[in-house]
């Protein structure tokens, strides 16, 4: 059976998240429905990351098997036709080896978080940023974020309902930089805990406001206690921007910033 890999982008605002659920529209469910409509085959679609409700993607990756061989371009175009009018798009499709697995073959995932710091509310970017209405010290946030890079017990920044076997993860990179009226956080790791990125960004916002210092963030990390976490950042500002695979294959490398001097490259 031929296996296909697709790269997907979506606005997560109207969906219950990636995973198909009993109630509500999911990314996975709509992709599977689109495949049925053009192939008459009911297949499972496995994604690289199970994004939550409201979280967006620029470079989500998924795979599925079909009994008949189709050209990748035909698969992409047919899926996009049947996905309308939902804000989901298949931006690339390729036939891959049977051993490829969108989730388990991935060696690194990259997320971006956007904070809008201007006084005026977002109009065109509503539901796509975290509007803070206040200036934040991006330099202090970046410096503090380096305390989270490396291998740590991230219990403090883990959702209570997280199903990961261990709270220990290795964070490869955490970049924070201003971009006009926005502050952009870019985080890279092989895998993440449930709500880890949003929890870390929420705590780092306290640093940007001057309410926490790097030492406070380090103390929260060492506490290994969910109660030590700052407020969890809303889903609206979070994007899965790229997924890395062996042999240098990256789903959307153009979305990743260059590493800052003196910080570890992802």
The tokens of 173 are what?
A: 């990179």
User: Which active-site residues does the annotation give?
Assistant: 52
| 245 has a pLDDT exceeding 60 | yes
Q: What average pLDDT does this structure show over 104-129?
A: 96
Tens of pLDDT, residue by residue over 14-23, are 999 999 988 8
Q: What average pLDDT does this structure show over 89-109?
A: 96
Q: What is the CA radius of gyration of the chain?
A: 19
Rounded to 5 degrees, what are φ and ψ at 43?
-130, 160
Residue 262 is predicted with a pLDDT of 40
Rounded to 5 degrees, what are φ and ψ at 101?
-135, 120
Mean pLDDT of the chain: 92
Please report the domains of the chain, with CATH numbers, ordered by start residue.
3-96 (3.30.70.580), 108-245 (3.30.70.660)
**Higher pLDDT residue, 148 or 1?**
148
Q: What average pLDDT does this structure show over 29-55?
A: 95
Q: What is the tally of helices (H) and strands (E) in the chain?
A: 5, 11
Please give the sequence-ordered ranges of beta strands (E in DSSP) within the chain, or none if there are none.
Answer: 3-10, 46-47, 56-65, 88-96, 108-116, 130-131, 150-153, 168-179, 182-189, 238-245, 249-250
User: Comparing 62-71, 162-171, 221-230, 242-251, which segment has the lowest mean pLDDT?
Assistant: 242-251
Q: What average pLDDT does this structure show over 113-123?
A: 96
Cβ-contact 90, 7 below 8 angstroms:
yes
Task: Give the percent of the chain with pLDDT over 90.
Answer: 88
Strands 238-245, 56-65: pairing kind: parallel
Tens of pLDDT, residue by residue over 172-216, are 999 999 999 999 999 999 999 999 999 999 999 999 999 999 999
Q: Residues 6 or more apart from 1 whose CB is under 8 A from it?
A: 65, 66, 67, 98
**Angle in degrees, CA 197, 211, 130, rounded to 5:** 40
| 261 has a pLDDT exceeding 50 | no
State how far the Cα of 102 lies from the Cα of 151, in Å rounded to an integer: 24
């Amino acid at each position: 059976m031929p296996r296909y890999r697709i790269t997907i982008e979506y606005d997560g605002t109207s969906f219950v998240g990636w995973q198909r659920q009993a109630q509500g529209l999911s990314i996975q469910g709509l992709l599977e429905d689109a495949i049925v409509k053009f192939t008459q085959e009911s297949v499972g679609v496995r994604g690289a990351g199970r994004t939550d409700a409201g979280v967006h993607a620029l470079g989500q990756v998924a795979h599925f098997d079909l009994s008949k061989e189709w050209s990748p371009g035909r698969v992409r175009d047919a899926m996009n036709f049947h996905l309308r009018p939902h804000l989901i798009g298949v931006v690339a499709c390729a036939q891959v080896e049977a051993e490829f697995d969108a989730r388990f073959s991935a060696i690194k995932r990259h997320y971006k978080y956007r904070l809008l710091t201007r006084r005026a509310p977002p109009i065109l970017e509503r539901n796509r940023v975290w509007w803070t209405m206040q200036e934040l010290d991006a330099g202090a946030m970046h410096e503090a974020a380096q305390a989270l890079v490396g291998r740590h017990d991230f219990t403090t920044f883990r959702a209570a309902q997280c199903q990961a076997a261990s709270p220990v993860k290795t964070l490869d990179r955490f970049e924070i930089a201003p971009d006009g009226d926005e502050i952009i956080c870019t985080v890279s790791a092989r895998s993440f805990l449930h709500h880890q990125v949003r929890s870390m960004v929420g705590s780092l916002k306290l640093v940007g406001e001057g309410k926490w210092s790097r030492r406070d963030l380090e103390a929260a990390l060492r506490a290994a206690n969910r109660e030590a976490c700052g407020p969890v950042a809303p889903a609206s500002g979070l994007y899965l921007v790229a997924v890395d695979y062996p042999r240098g294959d990256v789903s959307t490398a153009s979305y990743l910033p260059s590493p800052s001097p003196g910080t570890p490259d992802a």
